[in-house]
Amino acid sequence: MFNWNDLVFFLELARQSRLAPAARRLRVDHTTVSRRIAELEKDLSIKLFDRKPDGFVLTEQGHRLFAIAERIEQEASTVPQALGAEHMTATGRVRVVTMEGIGAWFVAERLVELAEREPGVLVELVTERHLISLTKREADIFISFVQPTGQRLVVKKLGNFRLALYASPEYIARHGLPKDRSELANHTFVDYVEDLVAIQPVRWLLDVLDPPNVSFRSSSMHAQQNAIAAGAGIGLLPLFSARKNPKLLPVLADEVKVYRDVYLSVHEDLEFLSRVRLVIRHLVDAFVRDHDFLHKL
């Protein structure tokens, strides 16, 4: 009969893929993790991991046990609530994946607020330029500009945000301000690297025009914003990032208004974990509370 406690070690190694990070999370020596996994495999008479140069990879049977172990973890997390102990503090790690811009300029600060209020929950914020798979357990929560599809996903619309055209005082002094949309074609722009755009909604400048003159391109929204502030040209930026730089001045603010929806998705096996539910609730509340920050110049 296998030891139930070994599932804790199994889950952490499956999530971390390496012994050392799993051991740090569990606050044990890495040899302890290795020994507990070996004992679990022996007790179940199955191979749970393939040892690869880049880490531990779940076998087919390992994936099956992972789904079962997560359900057990989820059920265990509901015990305090089921017994009326709602006040008990949530603990554990939650990995949130999103795009670089909204992650760095908006989500990060809101997660700091959560960390101060809930020190037992460690949120890992990962930024990616492409869509990730929650069904493959690449994250606990995914925040994106497109509505994800997949088996057993729970998707919520968090809200939306506004984008506006911006330029620097230096650029405006050299080239002047466009008086209307028709004059935009005579200006120089900052934009994304077209062939590196993995998520089409971030090609938001196309909502305004297909710029004939581009002086600077980057796969990083942060780099684009810095280039615009340095005078490289006009660019379309989310208000949540542009308002952080006083060198950025709105261009045609009343005429050009672009919006993007934001979606939060979570695998249904994780939705009711207390720590995951806590993070989701905090993010939902943040988008409601900061509506004006996201929409008004």
Asked if pLDDT for residue 247 goes beyond 50, the answer is yes
Mean pLDDT of the 7-14 span: 91
Asked if pLDDT for residue 136 goes beyond 80, the answer is no
Check residue 79 and give its pLDDT. Answer: 64
Mean pLDDT of the 230-245 span: 96
% of the chain at pLDDT higher than 90? 62
Residues 124, 153: contact at Cβ < 8 Å? no
Same fold, 88-159+261-295 and 160-256: yes
User: Whole-angstrom Cα distance, residue 69 to residue 75?
Assistant: 10
Check residue 93 and give its pLDDT. Answer: 86
Domain residue spans of the chain: 6-77, 88-159+261-295, 160-256
- Helices 274-289 and 108-117 cross at an angle (nearest 10°) of 120
Check residue 87 and give its pLDDT. Answer: 47
User: Whole-angstrom Cα distance, residue 130 to residue 221?
Assistant: 14
Minimum mean pLDDT among 4-8, 98-102, 136-140, 168-172: which range? 136-140
Mean pLDDT of the 242-258 span: 96
- Fold adopted by 6-77: Arc Repressor Mutant, subunit A (1.10.10)
* Cβ-based neighbour number of residue 51 at 10 Å: 8
pLDDT digit string, tens, across residues 35-48: 999 999 999 999 99
Burial (CB count <10 Å: 0-12, 13-18, 19+), residue 122: middle
Per DSSP bridges, beta strands 153-167 and 235-238 are antiparallel
Check residue 76 and give its pLDDT. Answer: 72
Mean pLDDT of the 198-211 span: 88
Residues 207, 258: contact at Cβ < 8 Å? yes
Count CA atoms within 13 Å of residue 175 on its CB side. 21
Mean pLDDT of the 287-294 span: 95
Task: List phi, psi (to 5°) of 44.
Answer: -90, -10
pLDDT digit string, tens, across residues 50-107: 998 888 999 999 998 988 888 887 677 666 656 655 445 677 889 999 999 999 999 9
The answer as to CATH 3.30.1280.10 being correct for domain 88-159+261-295 is no
pTM of the model: 0.71
The answer as to CATH 3.40.1350.10 being correct for domain 160-256 is no
Check residue 146 and give its pLDDT. Answer: 86
Name the token pair of 115: 């960390």
Asked if pLDDT for residue 132 goes beyond 90, the answer is no
Asked if pLDDT for residue 282 goes beyond 80, the answer is yes
